[in-house]
Amino acid sequence: MDFENISDDMTSNANSEKAAQMKAYMRDNFEYLGIPTPKRREICKPYFKTAKKEMLIDWDFIDRCWKEPYREYQYVALDYLALMNKSLTAADVPKIKKLIVRKSWWDTVDGLDEIMGYIAMWFPNVKPILLAWSTDKNFWLRRVAIDHQLTYKGKTDTKLFEKIIVNNFGQTEFFINKAIGWSLREYSKTDPGWVRAFVDKNRSKLAPLSIREASKYI
């Protein structure tokens, strides 16, 4: 991946007014160049087209993106990983873990849980790792564990799903209780009976936020 040229193209498209708005939306946690998602993807498209042919993930490129102060670079890395997901294996999990715990916020973590979900789908030996993450002291790792099956629908491993949620009962962290509710809500579109029964069984242990989110479609 041609980091230098991508960086030059992004810098030349910076917009200070949009940057201020984006920074405010993210509660001033990160600096921005002010490049909206459609423009960022337009900039990266020719580079990604070439990268797709390589079939090898450029982890040095991802690391450089993660070290940059402007948040758009982390988004570029996420887009790149999503593009190259078929090249990911269980051996890449430690690298992804490092991304989850660095510059953590919902915007990058929710992109990385999809990446982890893809890996776990094709490499079931990753499931014990995700179960271990569900009790980690880093709540972002727990959030990834909770949400990694969001797109699985009928392929959801409900036994693993239940264990992970149960491991996070009694949490006060908003991002955990929101994730529990979100994951249950999504699965209710596939199996509302399972979600209804789970909520009824564990109503006293689930946070009100989780129950509210989980019950939206049931």
pTM for this entry = 0.95
pLDDT one-digit tens code per residue, 198-208:
999 999 999 99
Domain ranges of the chain: 126-218
pLDDT one-digit tens code per residue, 74-111:
999 999 999 999 999 999 999 999 999 999 999 999 99
Q: For residue 41, is pLDDT > 90? A: yes
Q: What's residue 217's pLDDT?
A: 95
Local confidence band at 142 (pLDDT 50, 70, 90 cut-offs): very high
pLDDT one-digit tens code per residue, 3-21:
999 999 999 999 999 999 9
Q: What's residue 165's pLDDT?
A: 98
* Partners of 31 in the β-ladder: 70
In angstroms, the CA 88 to CA 84 distance is 7
Q: Which of 171, 96, 166, 183 is nearest to 139 (CA)?
A: 171
Q: What is the Cα Rg of the chain in Å?
A: 18
Q: Which residues have CB under 8 Å from 102's CB, separation 6+? A: 66
Architecture of domain 126-218: Alpha Horseshoe (1.25)
Q: What's residue 191's pLDDT?
A: 98
